[in-house]
Amino acid sequence: MIFKAVSEALPSLRSYAHLLIEDTVAGDEIVGHVLKDLVYDDETSECQEVSREDLFQSVDARLLNHLQAMSDGGAALETLRGLTLYERRCLLLTAIGRFEPCQVARITGISLGTVEYVLNRVRPIVSAARCTGVLIIEDEPHMAELLGVLVEQSGHHVAGIAHTLDEAVELARSKQFELILSDIQLHHSESGKDAVQKICCLVGWRIPTVYITAHPERVSPEEAAQADGLISKPFDIWRVREAIDGALGRATAHQQAG
């Protein structure tokens, strides 16, 4: 039924909306409106089946309308962070939605040939980065899943995901990784910085760390200087990739200089 389909697809729908328009609040509002409309139609008709493709198609269309409205007719839709809107939609639907090219074509209305051309052009660029194990520390499961997808699409792999300080330290005992991607503030007054400090003490060396925050204005210049990278929410694949590659590059340069 529609409620089961919505429940299973909701995290991925939110991730797709957040990354496509780079606005978490507006993205959640759009997804909410689409799902409300679908549920209302379902209750007043005859409870038709709704597939994941149907859900993503409805959300994609509403997101496209939002972007067109924000750009006063589409003049600003040529590129978004170096990608055309076609490229961005195709890449995110395969990465977030795990759709095949033929499904992406049906969702977006873009021809299958164009979808395949776009993916063949964009995927080598994304996968060109050196593969590195990344430990993610994020208390919100939805955001942790999203970060995991972005890490993988940046050409690296997820060594583990921790939602608490204790989980992070426990993972550090059993996993191998070269970089930590951590939220600054965790639930229950726990700190991502405390988790990183404990992990570095455990392994005996300073691990390059990129911090994530929804409130960059609260990060002091001293704190920002101590981090190897700082990503503000909302984020996208290019910000994550640039932050990871920058942190690893600085760490490598420091080791060579030492």
- Looking up residue 95, the CATH number of its domain turns out to be 1.20.140.160
Please determine, for residue 12, whether its predicted confidence score (pLDDT) is greater than 80: yes
Please determine, for residue 178, whether its predicted confidence score (pLDDT) is greater than 70: yes
Please determine, for residue 239, whether its predicted confidence score (pLDDT) is greater than 50: yes
Shared-domain flag, residues 81 and 187? no
Q: How many domains does the chain have?
A: 2
More confident residue, 91 or 135: 135
Shared-domain flag, residues 101 and 138? no
Return the residue matching tokens 């991925």: 12
Is the bond leading into 234 cis (omega within 30 degrees of zero)?
yes
* Mean pLDDT of all residues belonging to the chain: 81
More confident residue, 223 or 214: 214
Shared-domain flag, residues 38 and 149? no
What percent of the chain is modeled with pLDDT above 90? 28
> What mean pLDDT do residues 207-219 have?
84
Kindly report which listed range (172-176, 188-192, 220-224) carries the lowest average pLDDT score.
220-224
- Rounded to 5 degrees, what are φ and ψ at 99? -90, 150
Domain of 191: which CATH number?
Answer: 3.40.50.2300
Shared-domain flag, residues 105 and 185? no
Cα–Cα distance, 57 to 34 (Å, whole number): 10
pLDDT of the residue at 75: 41
Domain boundary among 126, 153, 175: 126
Say if CB 115 and CB 91 are below 8 A apart: no
Shared-domain flag, residues 85 and 141? no
User: What is the token pair recorded at 68?
Assistant: 């067109």
Shared-domain flag, residues 103 and 140? no
Exposed / middle / buried, residue 7 (Cβ in 10 Å: 0-12, 13-18, 19+): exposed
> What mean pLDDT do residues 39-58 have?
72
Shared-domain flag, residues 166 and 62? no
Cα–Cα distance, 221 to 212 (Å, whole number): 15
pLDDT of the residue at 76: 42
Please determine, for residue 108, whether its predicted confidence score (pLDDT) is greater than 80: yes
Kindly report which listed range (120-124, 152-156, 250-254) carries the lowest average pLDDT score.
250-254
Shared-domain flag, residues 11 and 43? yes
Shared-domain flag, residues 206 and 147? yes
Please determine, for residue 185, whether its predicted confidence score (pLDDT) is greater than 80: yes
Residue 195: which domain range? Answer: 133-257
> What mean pLDDT do residues 65-85 have?
63
Domain boundary among 99, 126, 153: 126
Shared-domain flag, residues 121 and 149? no
Shared-domain flag, residues 9 and 67? yes
- Provide the pLDDT confidence category of residue 20 given band limits of 50, 70 and 90: confident
Domain boundary among 126, 152, 182: 126
Please determine, for residue 42, whether its predicted confidence score (pLDDT) is greater than 60: no
Shared-domain flag, residues 70 and 96? yes
Alpha helices in 181-227, H assignment, sequence order: 192-203, 221-226
Please determine, for residue 222, whether its predicted confidence score (pLDDT) is greater than 80: no
| pTM for the structure as a whole | 0.59
